[in-house]
Amino acid sequence: MKINFKNVAAAVLAIAFAGGCVTETATEREFGDSVRAVTFGQIHDMNAALNPDDKAVTGGNGDRLEAVLNTHVGEVVPTQEVQRPVSININSGGSR
């Protein structure tokens, strides 16, 4: 039986690379727990999240929706204000 060393080497490398993807550090694990906790904390109605309605929303409170849209648009910073140059003055505390 003849062994093809190129195929064996390729298989060993594939297993080594796949094994490297499986390991997870404690920091990565804690970060994942943090992300899941924050996401879970944003759910207002857990029953609705676990059993979502299959029908689309067909209506809403017009005044409330308009207030939300106006508030959102009102909080957007104008482009001209964002593009202003930043001026930083560093003074060592001495007088001139």
Q: What is the pLDDT of residues 54-89, one digit of tens each?
A: 887 788 888 988 888 888 776 666 677 667 777 888
What's the half-sphere exposure (Cβ side, CA atoms, 13 Å) at 78?
3
Contacts of 49 (CB under 8 A, 6+ apart): 43
pLDDT more than 90, % of the chain? 1
Residue 65, in any domain of the structure: no
Residue 83, in any domain of the structure: no
Residue 5, in any domain of the structure: yes
Residue 1, in any domain of the structure: yes
Domains: count for the chain? 1
DSSP structural state of residue 33:
H
Mean pLDDT of the chain: 78
Q: Domain containing 40: what range?
A: 1-54
Q: Taking the mean position of all CA atoms in its chain, how far away is CA 36? A: 11
Residue 3, in any domain of the structure: yes
pLDDT at 72: 77
pLDDT at 1 over 60: no
